[in-house]
Structure 1
């Protein structure tokens, strides 16, 4: 038994090291004095100062943040509606097809989805004169991609929901809308918040889909980073990666806490 425990612990340690040691090295070298990203020459914050003085990188970060906020909010609203319909709506023709379409972006390759969205926006621009590729098209694409993740989180929460609470409210004279607003929504709010955080993280990190639908004047943070590392890894990338990893980790931790929270 002791040998099995040691083996299991060793495999667990190897797995964690394989996953997180590269991230830890990136964080450590973000405080490196040297311009060489693999040679430690002393502790310094100069690359942090350099990053926050880089206007192009800050503009890309601000654009990504705005897109993530808009797309996460849109995905949360639409995902809430889709998840609620899949659980609570009575059987209707095409329900199975609707459920498959909701989760399709999760299993569809991003390249395929990117090409589809690009053709949609190009066709729309030819027929209706817009929208021009940029902030709006990226936000729409990210919203479409993220709806599935929110819908699944909401659907799993509603599946375990005690409907006796809603029935009691309606027995007391509450309308379906009042029941949803005062009973259902507050109880599933942690799941909606968790889905919003997940959609926000996915949008902030997306590169492949964004490259298809972004215009020439719209460069998000992942696109800026990708174009930078093609010319060589700059120490500022380590700083930026540290910030993004920290934000993503906090969002995922908060998302998990909201999912497990008991209303």
Structure 2
């Protein structure tokens, strides 16, 4: 464990980025953080290197991703169907089942060394959820958790019509995280009709736009959520804007 704590987190807005490109980008940063941690094992505490932290925001073109515990049959499209919907499909190394990413959805990938914050994956997941719950509260939505399920939900108390507004799935190794959350802001919800979202057959999916009855500025949501994350994790955010092409 690195005894030198680094609360600085470099924020990078990747814009609209192809899923595979973003995945490769994450993997590169993730590997760099792991490499520093391995180097530190052979160094005295007073000369150990600070491990970097990153927070990536982006949107993706239409894509379905299946986590390690997911079932391929939860994708209801064949190859021709994917082509017709101009969507791609990847099996990936996060936890969870199948989900959809697309334009109008705010995707967040925290690549954090939890030794800099707290070494508790359960707490990490709940803290991500809390940041999203508080952000949705800024728009007058009473969001929360459904017992036994990850992500953020509406009608989470009485559960007469519970509907997921944010999906989550993470990977962690040596207390370094990757993957993250996908918050439906102005998402085309019809694309969820071609999967069993997160393997859950009896609950709906929603978005900020669907709940409020009008589109919401993506930049505004991103700024609010970024601020909530910074407070809850006690981050010192430093912004780097990245221009990307797909």
TM-score by length of 2: 0.26
Greater radius of gyration (CA): 1
Identify the structure with the greater strand proportion.
Answer: 2
Which TM-score applies when normalising by structure 1? Answer: 0.25
Higher relative contact order (Cα pairs below 8 Å, separated by 6+ residues): 1
